[in-house]
Amino acid sequence: MTDNTAGAPRHYALIPAAGVGARMAADGPKQYLTVGGKPMLRHALEAFLASDRIAHTYIVVSPADGQIDAVVPPGLDGVTVLRCGGATRMETVQNALHALRAQVRDGDSILVHDAARPGLTPALIARLIDGVAGDPAGGLLALPVVDTVKRAAGGQVATVPRDGLWLAQTPQMFPYALLRRALDAATDASAITDDASAVEALGLSPRLVPGDPRNLKVTLPADVRIAEMYLAQPTSN
C-alpha cells in the first residue's frame, strides 16, 4: 500500500476516453478519429509521454472498448489503460481515482486531460504545473475571452461583459485527495461540466493558468481541420 503522506508530490496524467462523441457524427468514438495522421487520443498521450514532469499516464476506457489496444499497445512504457469507464465523464474520472487509490498519495497531483484535445504539448504541461505551483485548490489551463459575448433569451439579445471571463481548457490539475473528495461530493453529474466545477462547488477557487489556442477541443466536424492546422505548425510552447 502506498504511503499517502510521505514524499514530494508526483504528477500523474489521467485521460478519460470512455465517451462516444455523439456531436462529431462519426462512425465511432471521437477519441479514435484520425487527426493529423494519428488518432486524437494518441496525440494527447504522446504529449504526456514526452514530458519529464509526468510520472505515469492513465487512460480510462469503457470495459467493452475494442479499439484501445490498436492505439495504445499493451506494455507501452509509461502508460496504463484502465477499463473502468462510466456512463458520464464524471463517473469515468471517479472510477479511475478509486482504482488508483493504492498507486498515488493524497498530495500527488492528477492532471485530467480531454482525449479530444490533440494540441497539447509538454511545454503547456510544464506551464500548468509551474503556474499552479502547489496551490491547494489546484488549477487549469484557460484562455481569456476576447470576442464580444451575446446572450439570447426569449427573443432578446444582450451583450455580456467579458471582463473576467475565461474559456476552460485541460489539463486541469488537482491534488488526488481533493479531486476525489470534490467528485464524490457532487450530486448532479450534469452540473459538473469539468473537474474544476466540482472543486468550485466545495467553495474553492482553482487557479487559472494561460493556455494556448492550439489546445482546442475537437467537438464538431469543422474542428478537425482547425486542429490539423495547429498540429502542422512547429511548437514553441
207 conformational bin, left if phi > 0, alpha if psi -120 to 50, beta if neither? beta
Q: At 19, is the pLDDT very low, low, confident or very high (cuts 50, 70, 90)?
A: confident
Question: Hey, what domains does the chain have and what are their CATH numbers?
Answer: 11-231 (3.90.550.10)
Can you tell me the mean pLDDT for 93-108? 97
Extended strands (E) in 86-236: 109-112, 139-144, 149-153, 156-160, 166-175, 207-210
148 conformational bin, left if phi > 0, alpha if psi -120 to 50, beta if neither? beta
In whole angstroms, give the CA distance from residue 113 to residue 88: 15
Residue-wise pLDDT tens digits, 46-89: 999 999 999 999 999 999 999 999 999 999 999 999 999 999 99
Mean pLDDT for all residues in the chain: 93
pTM strictly above 0.85 = yes
Residue-wise pLDDT tens digits, 128-157: 999 999 899 999 999 999 999 999 999 999
Task: Look up residue 55 and give its DSSP letter.
Answer: S
- Is the separation of the CB atoms in 237 and 212 below 8 Å? yes
Cis peptide before 210 (omega within 30 of 0): no
Give me the residues paired with residue 140 across strands: 172, 208
